């Protein structure tokens, strides 16, 4: 079925999230601001449609015209593997403009299109493994807001609320610059200890802290998390240095999870598996080049007898989680005391990842990626279309 | 969609193939004999059906009743990943009776069912990569029949015929016991040299010889194939000895392909990739636990930047070849001067893997696995049903 056109709507929506100078999301304290999101729409000659959301800057007109439309228009929308490789081949000459994230958005739209066309959730096309999954609540990075996530005690109080909400796992993002007192390994450990003290021994806890610690600091933190019975540590050092992770994972019994933000899609994960740079691999559909590329990392991990914990929330990741055996969690968040994650975003009619009181997210049975998109809202708030 | 029942027809069909005492297929010279094949049929509550063929002994009543029906009946036919793992878990207590091949047949039927139900070839469900593929002609093992595959000259003459038919690649299976003069490394090399001499430099040649050569013999053969410009060598030693393959692949520039017959599905392939025991990985849907399990090996290989050449012919393998980028060939055979591979088998209405005069096999666009099954023939020749 030939792809006839690919169009993008950039629309505005209210948000309580503000970004610091390093790009970290925090909870704003004033009136809601505005943010922009892009909806990519893929239409085939029979009128069937597929959708995927992404950052407008990633999928801007230049990227769409120079690469995406050239690869896809006129091609069979079911030829995901061929079209993905075609886009990847175009990356090299794109001066970095055709990113893995852009390719992922396009591929997600193809999966959504296929699921909608065939009347099935994407996980069932992939081959279903589960219908519900435990979610860990994933906090925002620490801040300096009173009553926010400014102190170890703030994290402890927030963790209690998350447990009351039903979460059986909590992942803590601690303080990073430009927060004045960050980074601070001892303060990170204090936050982890406060949370463990607050939630007791039966809640799974993970840490995703500052990403540029030294080996020494990372090992110090890791040893403390071992004593606190944490489930894993994530990205405490630059992931470009695989040697640092081999060094760390070789000493810690605490599982090391990664790589998360490393470039190279599934290709870069092979060395991590081979060298034992981590105990649990990591990939996410938006960041690792798409649903299939993320699945390839999960398959690589499975061949090595490793789990692959999926990075980030959202519809595409949820579909991967529903189709693989070798992960335990879905990452729900980012969460903050001032923000209600259970509030339906303005551009959806219902939550994609509703969680019950026992901490299970129930996978959507809606065809495609499973998002219940409010097209009327998006149309009414579109500020740019191309 | 719930699986309502799983049924097997065992039917007889005429064959010119005879098996020697080691199980190798050869061309019979007398009147056609009879062979038995099993057709597994999976039916869901809506009446939709999926089919897969396999050896009757692999999928006999005990296996079906004790394991397959217990895992599958009443379950969602789209839950391939969950049901596959459930079957694998049942293997441990099956005293070896629930084999990877049995699990593969069941999984193939699920894929066929899904493709038929959704009106798509399986490769398009997986995400299409190609619509045609180069085939190599894969000969039967050597024999002692005049005019068959008894001498290096026989192989040379047959290779000329294969090139005239359109093949751009030929894989030679040489002599193995109980052939009186086998194994013989020098005779194997003589056959390879005769074929190279006959077909010239532009035809890709591969060797899949005796599987229990010593390291020394394997290296001797490999060096000769390097001089003859072969494309790869396959399984010259026991694949359980990964160390032997690390030793061999470390010395040869000639690509080493494997493992082919090693147990352990995708799990056993990880060490081969990690240790450099081969240059090109190998797996096939029937032998490696199914289409998805085979795909996992291809994904493992892709993460390592390796190709994964698919083992064996048939519908399921052809669908995998159509869905992955990292293989170059489809294995068409087994071939022999006395047998016409292009003759449609009695239980099909048309060939699954028709090849044009340029040596390309065109992938079937029929929904499911793509076999054009002659159900009336099978019904009329059924000798056992359960």
pLDDT tens, position by position, B87-113? 999 999 999 999 999 999 999 999 999
What's the confidence (pLDDT) of residue B98?
97
Contact A120 B78 (CB under 8 A): yes
Residue B87, judged by CB atoms within 10 A of its CB (0-12, 13-18, 19+), counts as buried
What's the confidence (pLDDT) of residue A295?
98
In chain A, residues with a C-beta closer than 8 Å to the C-beta of B299 are 266, 295-296, 299-300
CA B61 to CA A28: how far, in whole Å? Answer: 65
Q: Residues A216, A236: contact at Cβ < 8 Å?
A: no
C-alpha distance from A128 to closest chain B C-alpha (Å):
4
What is the dihedral sign for C-alpha A85, B352, B76, B294?
negative
What is the dihedral sign for C-alpha B226, B232, B237, B239?
positive
Alpha helices per DSSP H over chain B: 61-63, 69-72, 80-91, 100-118, 122-126, 152-165, 185-199, 215-227, 242-251, 265-275, 291-303, 315-323, 375-380
Which string of DSSP letters, residue by residue, matches B330-368? EEEEEEBTTB-TTSPPTTBSS-SS-B-TTSEEEPP-SSB
Contact A127 B292 (CB under 8 A): yes
In chain A, residues with a C-beta closer than 8 Å to the C-beta of B325 are 81-82, 85
What's the confidence (pLDDT) of residue A29?
86
Residue reference for tokens 């936050």: A191
In chain A, residues with a C-beta closer than 8 Å to the C-beta of B85 are 129, 325
Tens digits of residue pLDDT in B45-65: 999 999 999 999 999 999 999
Q: How many CB pairs under 8 A join A and B?
A: 101
Q: Among A103, A96, A107, A203, which Cα is nearest to A155's? A: A203
With a pLDDT cut of 70, the percent of chain B lying above it is 100
C-alpha distance from B315 to closest chain A C-alpha (Å):
19
Whether the per-residue pLDDT at B173 is higher than 90: the answer is yes
| Averaged pLDDT of chain A | 97
List beta partners, residue A3: A44
Contact B129 A82 (CB under 8 A): yes
| Averaged pLDDT of chain B | 97
Q: Among A171, A78, A130, which Cα is nearest to A363's? A: A130
In chain A, residues with a C-beta closer than 8 Å to the C-beta of B270 are 273, 303-305
When scoring A107, A109, A127 by the number of chain B Cβ atoms within 10 A, the one with the most, hence best to mutate, is A127
Take residue B242 and report the two structure tokens written for it.
């990964």
Residue B358, judged by CB atoms within 10 A of its CB (0-12, 13-18, 19+), counts as exposed
In chain A, residues with a C-beta closer than 8 Å to the C-beta of B112 are none
- Cis upstream peptide for A223 (omega within 30°): no
Whether the per-residue pLDDT at B29 is higher than 90: the answer is no
The confidence band for A279, taking pLDDT boundaries of 50, 70 and 90, is very high
Contact A128 B292 (CB under 8 A): no
What's the confidence (pLDDT) of residue B76?
98
Does this model's pTM top 0.80?
A: yes
In chain A, residues with a C-beta closer than 8 Å to the C-beta of B303 are 266-267, 269-270, 273, 296-297, 300
Chain A residues within 8 Å of chain B (Cβ atoms): 76, 78-82, 84-85, 118, 120, 124-130, 266-267, 269-270, 273-274, 292, 295-297, 299-300, 302-305, 323-325
List beta partners, residue B132: B362
What is the radius of gyration, based on Cα positions, of chain A? 20
Residue A64 is given by DSSP the state I
Q: Residues A262, A289: contact at Cβ < 8 Å?
A: no
Chain B residues within 8 Å of chain A (Cβ atoms): 76, 78-82, 84-85, 118, 120, 124-130, 266-267, 269-270, 273-274, 292, 295-297, 299-300, 302-305, 323-325
Residue B306 is given by DSSP the state -
By DSSP bridging, strand B17-19 and strand B25-27 are antiparallel
- Grouping H, G, I as helix, E, B as strand and the rest as coil, residue B259 is coil
Q: How many CB atoms within 10 Å of residue A197?
A: 12
What is the dihedral sign for C-alpha A333, A335, A339, A342?
positive
Average pLDDT over residues B323-347: 97
Tens digits of residue pLDDT in B225-262: 999 999 999 999 999 999 999 999 999 999 999 999 99
Contact B120 A118 (CB under 8 A): yes
Contact B303 A266 (CB under 8 A): yes
Which string of DSSP letters, residue by residue, matches A120-135? SBHHHHH----SEEEE
C-alpha distance from B178 to closest chain A C-alpha (Å):
36
C-alpha distance from B126 to closest chain A C-alpha (Å):
7
In chain A, residues with a C-beta closer than 8 Å to the C-beta of B79 are 124, 127-129
Average pLDDT over residues A237-243: 98
C-alpha distance from A188 to closest chain B C-alpha (Å):
35
Tens digits of residue pLDDT in B351-375: 999 999 999 999 999 999 999 999 9
Whether the per-residue pLDDT at B30 is higher than 90: the answer is no
Contact B296 A303 (CB under 8 A): yes
Contact B296 A304 (CB under 8 A): no
Contact A299 B299 (CB under 8 A): yes
Phi, psi of B360 (to 5 degrees): -100, 130
Q: Among A69, A48, A58, which Cα is nearest to A117's? A: A48
Average pLDDT over residues B318-331: 98
In chain A, residues with a C-beta closer than 8 Å to the C-beta of B304 are 270
Average pLDDT over residues B304-308: 98
């Amino acid at each position: 079925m030939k792809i006839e056109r690919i169009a993008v709507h950039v629309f505005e929506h209210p948000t309580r999230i503000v970004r610091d100078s390093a790009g970290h999301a925090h909870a704003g304290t004033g009136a809601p601001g505005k943010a922009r999101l892009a909806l990519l729409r893929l239409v085939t000659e029979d009128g069937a449609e597929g959708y995927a959301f992404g950052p407008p800057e990633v999928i801007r007109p230049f990227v769409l015209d120079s690469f995406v439309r050239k690869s896809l228009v006129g091609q069979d929308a079911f030829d995901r593997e061929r079209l993905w490789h075609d886009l990847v081949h175009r990356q090299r000459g794109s001066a970095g403009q055709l990113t893995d994230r852009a390719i992922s958005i396009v591929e997600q739209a193809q999966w959504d299109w296929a699921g909608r066309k065939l009347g099935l959730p994407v996980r069932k096309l992939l081959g279903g493994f589960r219908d519900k999954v435990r979610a860990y609540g994933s906090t925002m990075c620490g801040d300096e807001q009173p009553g926010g996530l400014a102190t170890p005690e703030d994290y402890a109080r927030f963790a209690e609320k998350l447990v009351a909400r039903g979460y059986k796992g909590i992942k803590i993002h601690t303080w990073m610059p430009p927060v004045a007192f960050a980074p601070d390994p001892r303060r990170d450990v204090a936050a982890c200890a406060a949370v463990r003290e607050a939630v007791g021994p039966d809640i799974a806890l993970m840490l995703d802290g500052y990403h540029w610690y030294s080996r020494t600091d990372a090992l110090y933190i890791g040893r403390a998390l071992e004593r606190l019975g944490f489930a894993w540590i994530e990205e405490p050092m630059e992931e470009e240095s695989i040697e640092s992770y081999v060094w760390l994972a070789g000493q810690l019994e605490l599982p090391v999870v990664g790589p998360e933000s490393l470039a190279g899609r599934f290709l870069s994960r092979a060395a991590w598996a081979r060298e034992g740079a981590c105990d649990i691999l990591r990939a996410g559909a938006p960041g690792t080049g798409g649903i299939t590329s993320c699945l390839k990392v999960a398959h690589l991990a499975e061949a090595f007898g490793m789990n692959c914990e999926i990075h980030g929330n959202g519809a595409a990741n949820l579909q991967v989680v529903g189709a693989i055996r070798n992960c335990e969690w879905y990452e729900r968040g980012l969460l903050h005391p001032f923000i209600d994650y259970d509030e339906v975003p303005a551009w959806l009619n219902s939550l994609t990842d509703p969680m019950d009181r026992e901490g299970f997210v129930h996978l959507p049975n809606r065809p495609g990626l499973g998002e219940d998109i409010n097209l009327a809202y998006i149309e009414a708030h579109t500020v740019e279309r191309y």
